[in-house]
Chain A
């Protein structure tokens, strides 16, 4: 039942169905102010990533050894690192890496998960059985360990970290889509489409896909936070983004840990950036679910 779509709901609850999904989201945000806070956080991060060259006061790669490890001041609000690079500028540019990796990884993982989920849910039978066992097998390996193993094989860099994260996302997503497809198939209009001889592709794309977009978007938004966290963890462990590119996880491990007693700001600010981003995406995912889950909506 969790996947009854907006369009179909018109038959059951016409007074609710006239509200658009964007409006539902806005209503949910008004009911839960934390949702609005999360949206504001996300806007801030996206803004930072897009306008990094304008917002960053210094070049993130420019070194100034004479002011190395200087404490936060008016000129350098987040201080400088061990070779005199401005930490604030690096954090602003770091948003680009985090967001880029997060969006692409979740995009690839969601798209692949969706195709597998649609195929399994629609065909059922043997195809479903085989794919689901493979998904079980992938899920048997903890996400971080699997991502680590993939990156180690592919060579550590940002693109490969992104691919590894996408790979980790696929099984969970395919499960959710499969479930949504199975329940969407029970709808009478799907049966009717089959009865009048619609082609499979048309049934899948035209009648089933619209039913599964809401759960996919919700799960993707929750995964975005996780993807950013995994990228930061991989970079922290030295197998993600490589120096000198500014990545939050890398900043924390390369300089944050080495100089933590002398210059604690090197550990505090990148970690804060990761936490706020993850917090924002998690909370936004919750808000989306509250707004778009038909069960919660009817209450």
Chain B
């Protein structure tokens, strides 16, 4: 197992380094540097101020030095300041990360709570009206854009119930009720999108498992249907479902970008979109790198969990 862990960690390191190179390179492919573009567009910054700013940000150094410096800043958790607000990026991240984490966790819970029971129902009642209904829900979850669903939810909540989610973020510890009011709709929108793939996977794996010999044995010895499905079949059917859920982390993180923008939640996604719109390059490169690092780490952890659960994987 130790050997396997070491090998996987060693594979993850070059991926992270290459990702950082891509992000760093991307921010510098433009003719001229970020600052010239940014300030040139405003038109009211003198050449001398520009040179000073460039020096302060280290943009006058050779690329390899800039990259090394940025990498060091990222590793030492001090990625510099935003060029738009002058706020240290760490401070804005400290405010934004809990929002995104809460949204993502709630969305994941809602997604699973919706997906697994409907998936099981679809499978146990294959080709009936409830199966078709479940499948329609799944396909619409895949096709309805989350930004449209979010817009519709806000519109119709306002028209029909004269209710709009409270504006101005309040943390869970300050006022749990107000916080829940702010998060429930966006998490539901995001969760619905996530549930689609999980639902399809649950349906097909439960269908597969229900045809296994040991399930037939369970039926044959006269067990109650509920016990056969939930205790015997579902347990094994859930293994590939966990894989799908793990693979959705990217969708989840991308989804928060859109949903946070629509519901005005001050999370990582909104921070990134705003930084992109204002061309705040230090913030963009830090955020994108952070997302990539999070995904690589989470995927590594999921892989290691599998290897721990299923010894066959380690010896491949």
Contact = CB atoms under 8 A, between A and B. Distances in A.
B233 to A, nearest CB: 24
Interface stretch (B62-70, B73-81, B123-131, B271-279): B271-279
Interface stretch (A18-26, A99-107, A199-207, A230-238): A230-238
B151 A260 contact: yes
Given A140-B19, A140-B295, A142-B251, A260 B154 contact: yes
Contacts of B258: 144, 233, 236-237
A261 interface: yes
16 contacts: A136-B18, A137-B15, A137-B16, A137-B18, A138-B19, A141-B22, A141-B288, A142-B251, A144-B258, A260-B151, A260-B155, A261-B155, A261-B158, A274-B148, A275-B140, A275-B148
Report the 9 A-B pairs with minimum CB-CB distance, sorted nearest first: A271-B148, A137-B18, A279-B143, A144-B254, A152-B276, A260-B155, A142-B254, A142-B250, A137-B19
Interface of A: 133-134, 136-138, 140-146, 148-154, 225, 229, 232-233, 236-239, 249, 252-253, 256-257, 260-261, 264, 267-268, 270-271, 274-276, 278-279, 282-283
B208 to A, nearest CB: 15
B142 interface: yes
B136 to A, nearest CB: 11
B145 interface: yes
Contact of B257 (A134, A145, A154, A256): A145
A283 B142 CA distance: 11
Contacts of B91: none
B148 A152 contact: no
A152 B22 CA distance: 14
B139 interface: yes
Interface stretch (B24-32, B51-59, B215-223): B24-32
A267 B262 CA distance: 13
Contact of B26 (A142, A149, A239, A283): A149
B296 interface: yes
Nearest to A141: B292
Given A260-B155, A264-B155, A236 B147 contact: yes
Nearest to A256: B151
A275 B254 contact: no
Nearest to A278: B143
Contact of B145 (A145, A154, A233): A233
Nearest to B135: A34
B251 to A, nearest CB: 7
Contacts of B147: 232-233, 236, 249, 252-253
B23 interface: yes
B43 interface: no
B190 to A, nearest CB: 13
Interface in B150-169: 151-152, 154-156, 158-159
> Counting chain B CB atoms within 10 Å of each CB, which of A144, A256, A276 scores highest?
A144
A241 to B, nearest CB: 15
Nearest to A279: B143
Contacts of A148: 257, 272-273, 276
Contacts of A138: 19, 22
B253 interface: yes
A26 B209 CA distance: 32
B144 A275 contact: yes
Contacts of A276: 143
A143 B292 CA distance: 11
Contacts of A257: 151, 262
Given A145-B272, A267-B148, A279-B139, 19 more contacts: A133-B14, A134-B18, A137-B16, A141-B19, A141-B291, A145-B288, A150-B26, A152-B279, A154-B30, A233-B145, A239-B277, A249-B147, A252-B147, A256-B151, A260-B154, A271-B144, A271-B145, A275-B143, A282-B142
B261 interface: yes
B265 to A, nearest CB: 15
Contacts of A264: 155-156, 159
Given A145-B288, A252-B148, A279-B143, A140 B26 contact: no
A140 B296 contact: yes
B104 interface: no
